[in-house]
Amino acid sequence: MAEPEFTARGVRIARWPRSLTRAGEVRIEDGRLALLTSYGSEIDSAPVGAVRAGRPWFAKSDEAVATVNGTRYRLTLHRDGDHGGETAGSGRFLAALERAAGRR
């Protein structure tokens, strides 16, 4: 099994107006984006070509918005208080999504 193209753990995944998980996972693997709970259950997934994602002007550098199957999710790509090690900022996520979709 190949390594995922992008993985971020400890991601807060929210669907307005409520949070779905505060320690979820975002994974791009085999041309699909998957949003997972902290237990590994799938919240939503779609082919990367069908996902719209971006960072609104008012968002922090670790936040992104992704539309998956018509549903908008707000992704906060680090855990609160996690200042050690590498953080998966929204820039890395958006770049990986574009690479996987062949837009870059």
* DSSP string for residues in 81-96: T--SS----HHHHHHH
Q: What is the mean pLDDT of the chain?
A: 88
Question: What is the tens place of the pLDDT at every residue in 16-53?
Answer: 889 999 999 999 999 999 999 999 999 999 999 999 99
pTM assigned to the model: 0.86
For residue 99, give the 3-state DSSP assignment.
helix
| Residue 70 backbone dihedrals phi, psi, to 5 degrees | 80, 0
User: What stretches of the chain adopt beta strand conformation (E)?
Assistant: 6-15, 18-29, 32-36, 42-47, 52-54, 63-68, 71-76
Helices (H), 1-104: 90-101
pLDDT of residue 83 exceeding 60 = no
CATH topology of domain 6-101: PH-domain like (2.30.29)
